[in-house]
Amino acid sequence: MVEAIEVRAIVGGKAISRERVLAWESRRADAVLRKFAARLGRRGMAELMPDRTLDELRGAPLDVRRSESTTLKTRLGHAGVYAMLKRELALSERVTRIGVAASRGRTEHAITRLEVPGYSAERFAAWFDNLTAANAETDMIDACPDHYLLRGLPDGRQEVVETTGGSPAASRFVIDYTDTQNLTIPIDPGYPIQIAGQALLDDGLAIGGVRHQFRDREGTLEALLTAQFPATVPARLIRQHEWHLAVEFSNWMIAAAPVAATS
């Protein structure tokens, strides 16, 4: 992933350097690679990654670890991802159901802002929408180490298997971008471009959602990125998800440069 553009991040209300965003991604990349090694074992890792050992990857540049992590996930396939994460997906679903019930409709939000000079909000939003429409799984997974499976479903919804924020376990849910009735994230009228949807379990239980808002301001794309969680989710996990948002959208914006850059 070539970084030819400037991405400014504001996490927790504070301006954060690109180096700190990359450092967070680097730590998560290492954690995910360790999980693969622990779950798959030496032979499994060698089958999926025959040309490089985990020890070699530990000292590799982030872009190499990012690429190899994506390769592992795509070679493992959807069924392999489900199998590898079977226990923690079941655990996270039970915890989520309890959290939704205990929250009684109360919610908390993870909020991150990004600014990209020389970018078009409309062009980026269209490029991002097309990831799901075109089912560009590799591009969706590659944006963050904590993405295990992101794909468009035949009914138009998006399936997500990821570790949200600082959670110890990965979770699975679907996002319906045609339904926002359970969102408590306010619409900011200053951001004319909206990408929003609610997160659901398979039985339709609403567990959260997203509202990502974009605008152009003096030649700069400004993004207001927000994820909604049940109020019982610990504050530390929500704050960590703000870094997750900074990582994935920074990387998506860099990947979108051929389409979204205006100069």
**What does the domain layout of the chain look like in residue ranges?**
8-19+87-260
User: Parallel, antiparallel, or unpaired: how do β-strands 14-16 and 8-11 relate?
Assistant: antiparallel
226 has pLDDT over 70 = yes
Burial of residue 82, with CB atoms counted within 10 A of its CB: 0-12 exposed, 13-18 middle, 19 or more buried: middle
Mean pLDDT for all residues in the chain: 94
Query: pLDDT value at position 197?
Result: 97
31 neighbors 145 (Cβ within 8 angstroms): yes
Give CA–CA dist 114/130, Å, rounded. Answer: 20
Residue 48, helix vs strand vs coil: helix
Let me know the angle formed at the C-alpha of 146 by 149 and 198, rounded to the nearest 5 degrees.
65
Tokens of 260: 């979204």
Which residues, including other chains, have CB under 8 Å from residue 101's CB and lie 6 or more apart? none
Query: pLDDT value at position 204?
Result: 96
Burial of residue 7, with CB atoms counted within 10 A of its CB: 0-12 exposed, 13-18 middle, 19 or more buried: buried
1 pLDDT tier (thresholds 50, 70, 90): very low
Query: pLDDT value at position 3?
Result: 54
- Measured over the CA atoms of residue 146, residue 151, residue 156 and residue 157, the dihedral's sign is negative
Return the CATH number of the domain spanning residue range 8-19+87-260. Answer: 3.30.530.20
Listed residue (201, 191, 207) closest to 114, CA to CA: 191
Which residues, including other chains, have CB under 8 Å from residue 62's CB and lie 6 or more apart? 22, 25, 26, 29
Query: pLDDT value at position 254?
Result: 96
* pTM of this structure: 0.95
Only one residue has tokens 């306010």, namely: 186
The whole-number average pLDDT for the span 127-137 is 89
